[in-house]
Structures are given as C-alpha cells and as structure tokens.
Amino acid sequence: MALKVELKPHERIIIGACVITNTEQRTKLLIEGEKIPILREKDILTSATADTPAKLIYLAVQLMYLSPDPQAHHPTYFSLMRDMLNAAPSSWPFIEGINNHILNGEVYLALKEAKKLIAHEEKLLASARSMQSAKSA
C-alpha cells in the first residue's frame, strides 16, 4: 500500500534511516513499501524538545519506531514509564495503551497514544499552575 505525503517548503520527513528536507516548493511524494518507519517533522521530538516526562516517553517510543532494534530502547522506556506512573498515577490508561501497542509490534500506534499522554500531562500541569496561582492570590 502506498502513502501519499505532501511536504511544505523546507519541511523535513524521516523515511527509514534518512532525513529528507524539501526545497522551496510544495512537493508530493508517493511512498511505497512495507514496515518502513516514516515521521513528518511535526511528529518528531528531539532530546532538546523532549522537556517533560511525557515527551521523554514519546521520544523513547519514537526511537523504538525508527530503530532496526526497538528492544534496545525498552529499558529507557520502562524506566521513564515507572517514573511517570509514580508522579502521575492518572496517566495509567495512556501508559497501558502505549504498552499494549508496543507488545503487539504496533509502535506507530504507540506513538499516537504517547501524544495523548502528552496532552494529559499538559492538562495536569495547567491544573497545577492554576492551583498554585490561586494559592498565591
């Protein structure tokens, strides 16, 4: 099955182990192949942008997705996962979803679930900030 991707000017995409950067014009690509990891720039986190526990989990899952040996990243992921659950037990449903997708070899779907975890974390942080500002007022 082929994947159609349209890249904006200067947008980057990872296909397999290659980073492809578009030129000045919009470009349409038709990518054919199976089990090739593909990530658009908007879905890519780096160690510099992974600045919260949930984003670090996303980064670990991203590394699994892009790696020819995903299990090499399992120790990091499971350590981060335990830390997240200790700090925010309400994140369990998202962690459980990520774990299930990883165990089923559906690492791209685990990435999508990790995005939900990031959104949950953002809600928790916003709530904590709101409570903090209410206390100081």
Q: Which residues pair with 18 in a beta bridge?
A: 15
User: Which whole number is the average pLDDT over 6-25?
Assistant: 93
Residue 137: pLDDT band (50, 70, 90) is low
For residue 71, give both structure tokens: 């299990």
For residue range 84-102, list pLDDT tens digits in order. 999 999 999 999 999 999 9
User: Does residue 11 register a pLDDT over 70?
Assistant: yes
For residue 99, give both structure tokens: 């774990």
Q: Which residue has the tokens 């919009």?
A: 26
pLDDT averaged over the chain?
93
Q: Tell me, rounded to whole angstroms, the distance of Cα 11 from its chain centroid.
A: 18
Give residue 9's pLDDT: 95
Give residue 65's pLDDT: 96
Q: Tell me, rounded to whole angstroms, the distance of Cα 85 from its chain centroid.
A: 17
Amino acid making up residue 85: L
CB 40 within 8 A of CB 13: yes
Tell me the three state secondary structure of residue 62. Answer: helix
Enter the DSSP assignment of 19.
E
Whole-number percent of the chain with pLDDT over 70: 99
Give residue 131's pLDDT: 87
For residue range 58-78, list pLDDT tens digits in order. 999 999 999 999 999 999 999
